[in-house]
Homo-oligomer: A and B are copies of this chain.
Amino acid sequence: MVTLEENGSKVAMGKVSAELAVTPGTATSMVKNMERDGWLKYYPRQGVSLTRKGKKVAMNMLRRHRLLETFLVETLGLDWSEIHIEAEELEHAISEKVLEKLDEFLGSPRYDPHGHPIPSKGGTIQRPSSQTLQNCDAGITVRVESILDQDSDFLKFAREKELLPGKAVSVIKSEKLADVITLKIDGREPFSMGFRSAEKILVV
Contact = CB atoms under 8 A, between A and B. Distances in A.
Nearest to A93: B93
Given A78-B101, A90-B93, 6 more contacts: A72-B98, A77-B101, A78-B97, A86-B95, A86-B97, A89-B94
A105 interface: yes
A98 B78 contact: yes
Contacts of A86: 95, 97-98
A65 to B, nearest CB: 13
A62 interface: no
A94 B90 CA distance: 6
A127 interface: no
Nearest to A94: B90
A83 to B, nearest CB: 9
A53 interface: no
Top 4 closest pairs, chain A to chain B, by CB: A93-B93, A76-B101, A89-B93, A90-B93
Contacts of A95: 86, 89
A105 B76 contact: yes
A188 interface: no
Interface in A126-142: none
A94 B98 CA distance: 14
A75 interface: yes
Nearest to A105: B76
Interface in A49-102: 72, 75-78, 82, 86, 89-90, 92-95, 97-98, 101-102
